[in-house]
Amino acid sequence: MPEPAQMMIDNIMGEIHALNSKIQVIAQRMKIMERNEEIIGKTLISHNKMLKGIEEEINALKSGGVMAEGGSADLEKNAGALKEVKDIVKEAKKQMDANKKEIDLIKTELSEIKYVLDAINPVAYVTVDQVADLIDEKLEDLQRKKKG
Which of the two residues, 75 and 43, has the higher pLDDT score? 43
* pLDDT at residue 70, rounded to an integer: 54
The per-residue pLDDT for range 57-71, each reduced to its tens digit, is: 878 777 765 545 555
Task: Please provide the CATH number assigned to the domain covering 4-147.
Answer: 1.10.287
Which of the two residues, 134 and 67, has the higher pLDDT score? 134
* pLDDT at residue 133, rounded to an integer: 86
The set of residues, in sequence order, having a beta carbon less than 8 Å from that of 15 and lying 6+ positions away, is 120
The per-residue DSSP string of 100-114 comes to: HHHHHHHHHHHHHHH
Model-level pTM greater than 0.75? Answer: no
Q: Once rounded to an integer, what is the mean pLDDT over residues 117-146?
A: 80
Distance between CA atoms of residues 3 and 131, nearest Å: 10
Tell me the CB-side half-sphere exposure of residue 89, using CA atoms within 13 A: 15
Per-domain residue ranges of the chain: 4-147
The conformation of residue 124, written as its DSSP 8-state character, comes to G
* Residue 121 backbone zone (phi > 0: left; psi -120 to 50: alpha; other: beta): left
The per-residue pLDDT for range 53-104, each reduced to its tens digit, is: 888 887 877 776 554 555 566 677 777 888 888 888 888 889 888 888 888 8
pLDDT > 90: what percent of the chain?
A: 0
Encoded amino acid at 3, one letter: E
